[in-house]
Structure 1
């Protein structure tokens, strides 16, 4: 690891790739949030985090498909390529609160910090596995992911990685974009993700902006295989959807949370 330019740090991966941090990304995405049993999610979280309470005994989990158009490089370099080949990704994220172990949603939000714990993160390239695991501790693994990010819908299918291309299907997600621009958010947002790396709980800041639509579950469907559904204790009926066709993000290095 050595200093880059303008406050950036260059990091070499085991694959031989070099990236600059913060990492700049461009992508399209589609996702849904579904209800889930809070006790099941609590069992998946590391010490220091508690599943976000939305009702007694109930929490939620978010499924998001992502098609990266650019990974690394700089936004102002319109001619250059990213540091890594673009890839597809699927994230299972548990909304969680730090210092928020209470069953009362309002009290939990008042006393804690909300972020998303990344439980599962299949991707389509070896370089992206190294990128996520070596820098942030993201639980990345290779899988077969097919994404259709056309104008009429965003669809993502995740299957187990296999040589014959016929792996068992794990998740199928489809999200229709909003019919109008009402509800589309162009503001810059700061989101926090949580991972564990070398026994430490890490918190990572992501600055995100672009055309991001949040709304009702109309036009969204989700199918989850029984094993994953039982693990998460989730119901496959969406309660909210999100989509974005032109999104940018700046992902910062993770920071150890420390004793919580």
Structure 2
């Protein structure tokens, strides 16, 4: 079976796209499920509830150091969602039908978190090539942004777009997590929505050098529209937990349309 290819800015990318080295700093927040659902209702997906009335939102800084899309920085807002029934199966939806009430998983609770998908709601980046590739191939909502990163014992960064401050975050080092719990490769499912189309994307990941903490991160918000959306979730607040992953190897497969409208 021939591998699919995409041409971005004159460069041919053969799927899956590979990230050979990245590091990721992330913080996991518990927020109102109703507020999170209102924020992502346009996608047709339903938020995952780790406990009744509470959803999970991850904020992360990824530094891509070696990969098919080049070197760049990325700030992501990922809302954990319940995958629709046809997760991994045939496409559903048409121009006249959406996933406004998607059939599928209604799992909840911490034990089910590993089976939830990650809906990418915000994705500012600082390089044009990855912006075009992300929007064209996967429907990721990438926008151009400016980053300031302070890399020391405590990593801190600021991200802004169109001259407006989005967020400032600072991470502590946390404690080492044994590789026994983190070294197994995983395939997650990411979800995106752009120009009225919802997609799912297989996201392979292998990590090492993981550190974690309860809390462990500070967040400040600015005045950019993205910041106002996060504030509507009740942020900033103390995260449930945070993590630092010093080595991430990732692959992104072709996107599959699961809803349009």
TM-score range, shorter chain: 0.7 to 0.9
> Aligned pair in 2 of structure 1 residues 60, 71: CA closer, same or farther (>3 Å)?
same
> Aligned pair in 2 of structure 1 residues 107, 211: CA closer, same or farther (>3 Å)?
closer
Q: Is the aligned partner of 1:210 residue 2:195?
A: no
Return the alpha-carbon distance in structure 1 between the equivalents of residues 165 and 242 of structure 2: 22
Return the alpha-carbon distance in structure 1 between the equivalents of residues 239 and 62 of structure 2: 18
- The alignment partner of 1:146 has SS state of strand
- The alignment partner of 1:257 has SS state of strand
Unaligned runs of 5+ in 2: 84-102
Return the alpha-carbon distance in structure 1 between the equivalents of residues 177 and 50 of structure 2: 28
Return the alpha-carbon distance in structure 1 between the equivalents of residues 115 and 217 of structure 2: 28
> Aligned pair in 2 of structure 1 residues 146, 17: CA closer, same or farther (>3 Å)?
farther
Q: Provide the residue aligned with 1:174 in structure 2.
A: 170
Q: Provide the residue aligned with 1:39 in structure 2.
A: 34
Is the 2:176–2:209 Cα contact (8 Å) retained in structure 1? no
- Once the two structures are TM-superposed, the CA of residue 237 in structure 1 deviates from its matched residue by 1.2
Q: Provide the residue aligned with 2:60 in structure 1.
A: 64
Task: Between 63-72 and 174-183, report the one with greater CA deviation.
Answer: 174-183
- Once the two structures are TM-superposed, the CA of residue 48 in structure 1 deviates from its matched residue by 4.1
Q: Provide the residue aligned with 1:86 in structure 2.
A: 71
- The alignment partner of 1:129 has SS state of helix
Is the 1:36–1:235 Cα contact (8 Å) retained in structure 2? no
Return the alpha-carbon distance in structure 2 between the equivalents of residues 137 and 179 of structure 1: 35
The RMSD of aligned alpha carbons is 2.9
User: Which of 19, 25, 29 is the equivalent residue of 1:30?
Assistant: 25
> Aligned pair in 2 of structure 1 residues 20, 149: CA closer, same or farther (>3 Å)?
farther
Q: Provide the residue aligned with 2:193 in structure 1.
A: 196
Q: Deviations over 1:41-60 (max 9, x none)?
A: 11222454211112332212
Give aligned pairs, total: 234
Q: Deviations over 1:191-215 (max 9, x none)?
A: 1110124533211111111215263
Return the alpha-carbon distance in structure 1 between the equivalents of residues 7 and 212 of structure 2: 39
- Once the two structures are TM-superposed, the CA of residue 107 in structure 1 deviates from its matched residue by 11
Query: What pairs up with 1:110-149 in 2 under 5 angstroms?
Result: 114-149=116-151
Q: Provide the residue aligned with 1:243 in structure 2.
A: 244
State the TM-score, normalized to the length of structure 2.
Answer: 0.78
Return the alpha-carbon distance in structure 1 between the equivalents of residues 7 and 208 of structure 2: 32
- Once the two structures are TM-superposed, the CA of residue 229 in structure 1 deviates from its matched residue by 2.8
Is the 1:153–1:176 Cα contact (8 Å) retained in structure 2? yes
- The alignment partner of 1:186 has SS state of coil
> Aligned pair in 2 of structure 1 residues 29, 227: CA closer, same or farther (>3 Å)?
same
State the TM-score, normalized to the length of structure 1.
Answer: 0.78
> Aligned pair in 2 of structure 1 residues 136, 182: CA closer, same or farther (>3 Å)?
same
- Once the two structures are TM-superposed, the CA of residue 93 in structure 1 deviates from its matched residue by 0.5
Return the alpha-carbon distance in structure 1 between the equivalents of residues 43 and 127 of structure 2: 30
